[in-house]
Amino acid sequence: MQERYEPAAIEAEAQHYWDQQHSFEAKEDPSRPKYYCLCMFPYPSGRLHMGHVRNYTIGDVLARFMRMNGRNVLQPMGWDAFGLPAENAAMANGVPPAKWTLENIAHMKAQLKSLGYGLDWSRELTTCLPEYYRWNQWLFLRMLEKGIAYLKTGVVNWDPVDKTVLANEQVIDGRGWRTGAMVEKREIPMYYLKITAYAEDLLDALKDMQDWPERVRIMQANWIGRSEGVRLGFPHSVGEGGILHVFTTRADTIMGVTFCAVAAEHPLAIHAAQGNPQLAAFIEECKRGPAVEAELATQEKKGMATGLYVRHPISGEPVPVWVGNYVLMSYGDGAVMGVPAHDERDFEFAKKYRLPIKPVIAVPGRVYSAAAWEPWYSDHGRCVDSGAYDGLEYQAAVDAVARDSSAKGLGEKRTIWRLRDWGISRQRYWGCPIPIIHCKNCGVVPVPDEQLPVVLPVDLVPDGSGNPLLKCAAFLNVKCPKCGADARRETDTMDTFVDSSWYYLRFACADNDHAMLDHRVQYWLPVDQYIGGIEHAILHLLYARFWTRFLKDMGAVSFKEPFARLFTQGMVLNEVFFRKADSGRLQYFNPADVNVTVDKATHRREAMLRSDGKQVESGGVVTMSKSKNNGVDPQVLVDEFGADTARLFMMFAAPPEQTLEWSDEGVQGAFRFIKRLWKAVYEHVSAGPAQRLEKAMLTEAQRALRRHSHQTLAKVADDFGRRRTFNTAIAAVMELLNAVARHPQTGAQDRSIVQEALEIAVMSLSPIIPHAAHALWRELGRRTAMIDETWLQPDEQALQSSTVQMVVQVNGKLRAHITVAVDADEAAIRSTALADANVQKFIGTGAIRKLIVVRGKLLNIVV
RNA sequence: GCGAAUGUGGCGGAAUUGGUAGACGCGCCAGACUUAGGAUCUGGUGGGGCAACCCGUGCGAGUUCGAGUCUCGCCUUUCGCACCA
């Protein structure tokens, strides 16, 4: 065996072996329990970042552990390959997005391989290739047929210079992020997917998803936003039988209504604005709105009276209608009933415009005063000053109001949702073409199935002046499938979230040219363990759940939840260093270029830039990002220390769901530990083969090390399989190795015990450092390759001990450690404890009032 | 504002069911080996006393024989949502 640990050679050898043996190619085998372990597939941005490495290492550790525990494991990988960055790179470099994307994929695939992940590359999929996205188009057509996909005019952010639609994140302070031009709100026709049809089921099913993190379930529930209340009608005289509809969860406050407020876009507002230029101007101002979404919540409430009145649905009294900038057209009916006494926003509004405030809810022990808002004003209570409803509690009052208004045809109970339908049209080139043809004679015509896929041209280079498909005659010009006349293709492409909404299904049958899915989906799905970042807690996971439900309704799959278990790993953080330029702008420096010195006495840290030796400021430890220039390139790490060190560090530095702080010293520590393990095995095998273990003839010290080995084995299996705390599993193996180092090796049986301990250590770490484990397993004389081994089970006999350490407390304070027989009764434990001199000292002359014995752990004497 | 998480040595973190606080690692200190070490090995390392012992898990109360862990009230930091009627 080689004395030195040389990761480059060892890792190449192990990876070559797995390739040769096709170790990770998964085959359907109904006789074995399957385990589908999936990490969120990456966007091919060019290089792997540390977040990827953390994500995929967690997945690989679980996959390898499950495999060795008898599961038929599928761990596939693919590429979320459509999207905006490719277009930006194309503009910057003059290279078509397709070329840029495919080159990135090739590079990142090599990186993934160099990290030793046990991925089944035979199932690799790439969403920007027609073999994949043709099924987006096919399913979209099915959704059209079922009415789940539909065409509607929607409001978008329009950059007038780039002639393109911007995502909300691309609008900065009301201006386009590239051009700096003022963004306009434009109404254009878009395709929507009716996710709201599944809102109730998407929400209700969350209750049963106990293997998803609670916070993801809460975030989804809030996003879906179910709200139960009453839709009330306020009749008015605009138009024939006009009724202003409002939604409220507080129908019990109906008698406190002193005004109604409608959104600027509300038909009643627009009607009132005709012939009222002041109001029209105000509506325009509201429509523009604040640039930043968050300012919506804090901006001053403004309004203007329309001059119109509606009639109260219960009392019939006239109620003035106002336009309010705090009323959202997109929620409910775009109008609210104003109850200033019991709603903070209405209160603010009424105060400002001197509208009456009428309290109608009494809360016991509280006295209402309209002078200032108190948080309890919106609490539930009992109706007062409310005519027939006086004395009723919340639910009774809501029921009564719903009944009375409904009798007049002016009310009904209603559940409404925050969730909106999903607009998927993007006026972008680098995405999946929406399979629609526009014909002068026939209108909007879906592309017939037999003409799929609508292939996206791959040689276009966007120049920033709108969608290049609009200038691509070969793509644009087409014959109408219905009438044969000259027609034009739809140039909008699909939101890239469409691509990721079903890729996990396609991995089961990525090679099928004839169908989107086949019977193999039944075997592999649902995904047993899905692993990814919390940033996808809402959109991606919600869309995927929606698509699976649609496919189930189509009969294509038999389940509705695609991911049985979800794990969201924490972010990778690193310190940021910067200098403030004279202009006030911050210039960030990569931590690799900064030298940090620590004063030993004061713990004061000083950071300076290597290149000029001058000081830089530390901005604390934050998420690694391009903008903060605090990323560490995983490739550098792999080149210098090897994949195993990178993997070990990531798994050891923090529990997987928490944030992980980057530490160069920590990486060194991980490297050092592998070297120690290597050396321990080297020294052991250099002395020749170990003898057979004679379990019956061991000394107490030998039995103790053996017990330690098997306790470690049990703990590691629990940490991997149940707790998912890889950091504590690694710590346990480190402790075992420390015990091995301390163990005096005098006799042949010592070598046998150490052989066993080293085998257990190597196996325990094999999911984390698979390359080193692969080599060490062989060196320890095992003939089966590590990856094909079955996980060792702890020997019950080895775990047993005849004695146990107990702690003795006097009045709850630790005073002694005692060793007693495992089967000692309370009397024996008591007398051993009382015989201890230190225990006697603290009991002193006091009488023993109470004595608590926790078998095998502790004894507390209360004096 | 609402919701969730979080707070433990110089640092990352451990303590799984209310039962030895600080495992394991980093850093630091001392020593060994060495021409040398930023390699390796050994020992030490929460604070105060340097002994017995006392004090210590964000702050304040409480429950308990016993609280990092449970209850109540505050505070910090982070994340998510944010005029949702």
- The residues with which A807 forms a beta bridge, in sequence order, are A817, A858
| CB A810 within 8 Å of CB A818 | no
Name the residues in A510-529 having a C-beta closer than 7 Å to nucleic acid strand B.
none
Tell me the CA–C1' distance in angstroms for A603 and B29. Answer: 15
Q: From A768, A803, A773, select the one nearest A115 (Cα to Cα).
A: A768
**CB-based contacts of A246: which residues, under 8 Å, 6+ apart?**
A231, A232, A234, A260, A332, A333, A335, A336, A337
What CA–CA distance (Å, rounded) separates A801 from A707?
8
Question: Looking at residue A292, what is its pLDDT?
Answer: 46
Question: Looking at residue A285, what is its pLDDT?
Answer: 83
Taking the CB of residue A269, how many other CB atoms lie within 10 A of it?
Answer: 28
Residue at A559: amino acid letter: F
**Is the CB of residue A848 inside 7 Å of nucleic acid strand B?**
no
| CB A645 within 8 Å of CB A675 | no
CA-atom Rg of chain A in angstroms: 34
Shortest CA to C1' contact from A653: nucleotide:
B12
Residue at A655: amino acid letter: P
What secondary structure letter does DSSP report for A741? H
What CA–CA distance (Å, rounded) separates A80 from A496?
8
Question: Looking at residue A289, what is its pLDDT?
Answer: 61
Tell me the CA–C1' distance in angstroms for A594 and B69. Answer: 41
Question: Looking at residue A296, what is its pLDDT?
Answer: 55
Burial A756-777 (b: 16+ CB within 10 A, else e): bbbbbbbbbbbbbbbbbbbbbb
Q: Which residue has the tokens 């120049």?
A: A463
Both structure tokens of A582: 């004279």
What CA–CA distance (Å, rounded) separates A736 from A761?
7
Three-state secondary structure call for residue A753: helix
Tell me the CA–C1' distance in angstroms for A602 and B12. Answer: 20
Residue at A495: amino acid letter: D
Strands A171-172 and A78-79: unpaired
What CA–CA distance (Å, rounded) separates A468 from A491?
9
End-to-end CA, chain A: 62
Which bases of chain B come closer than 7 Å to a protein CB? 3-5, 10-16, 19-21, 23-29, 39-43, 53-54, 65-67, 79-85
| CB A141 within 8 Å of CB A435 | yes
**Is the CB of residue A293 inside 7 Å of nucleic acid strand B?**
yes
What CA–CA distance (Å, rounded) separates A292 from A7?
51
**Is the CB of residue A860 inside 7 Å of nucleic acid strand B?**
yes
Question: Looking at residue A740, what is its pLDDT?
Answer: 94
Question: Looking at residue A174, what is its pLDDT?
Answer: 67
**Is the CB of residue A805 inside 7 Å of nucleic acid strand B?**
yes
Q: From A482, A500, A612, A607, select the one nearest A546 (Cα to Cα).
A: A500
- The residues with which A685 forms a beta bridge, in sequence order, are none
Residues of chain A under the 50 pLDDT cut: 291-294
Shortest CA to C1' contact from A348: nucleotide:
B83
Question: Looking at residue A863, what is its pLDDT?
Answer: 86
Shortest CA to C1' contact from A333: nucleotide:
B85
| CB A720 within 8 Å of CB A567 | no
**Is the CB of residue A712 inside 7 Å of nucleic acid strand B?**
no
Tell me the CA–C1' distance in angstroms for A735 and B23. Answer: 9
Three-state secondary structure call for residue A378: helix
Residue at A353: amino acid letter: Y
Both structure tokens of A860: 């507390």
Shortest CA to C1' contact from A336: nucleotide:
B85
**Is the CB of residue A417 inside 7 Å of nucleic acid strand B?**
no
Both structure tokens of A187: 């109404």
**Is the CB of residue A780 inside 7 Å of nucleic acid strand B?**
no
* pLDDT tens by residue, A181-237: 777 778 889 999 999 999 999 999 998 898 999 889 988 998 899 999 999 999 998
Question: Looking at residue A293, what is its pLDDT?
Answer: 47
Residue at A341: amino acid letter: A
Question: Looking at residue A70, what is its pLDDT?
Answer: 96
**Is the CB of residue A665 inside 7 Å of nucleic acid strand B?**
yes
Name the residues in A215-234 having a C-beta closer than 7 Å to nucleic acid strand B.
215, 218-219, 222-223, 225, 227, 229
**Is the CB of residue A663 inside 7 Å of nucleic acid strand B?**
yes
Q: How many whole angstroms from its chain centre is CA A334? A: 32
**CB-based contacts of A830: which residues, under 8 Å, 6+ apart?**
A851, A853, A859
Question: Looking at residue A596, what is its pLDDT?
Answer: 83
Both structure tokens of A713: 């084995």
Both structure tokens of A208: 């049963």
**Is the CB of residue A625 inside 7 Å of nucleic acid strand B?**
no
**Is the CB of residue A67 inside 7 Å of nucleic acid strand B?**
no
* pLDDT tens by residue, A737-756: 999 999 988 888 999 999 99
Q: Which residue has the tokens 């075997």?
A: A523
Name the residues in A325-344 having a C-beta closer than 7 Å to nucleic acid strand B.
325-329, 331-332, 334, 336-337, 343
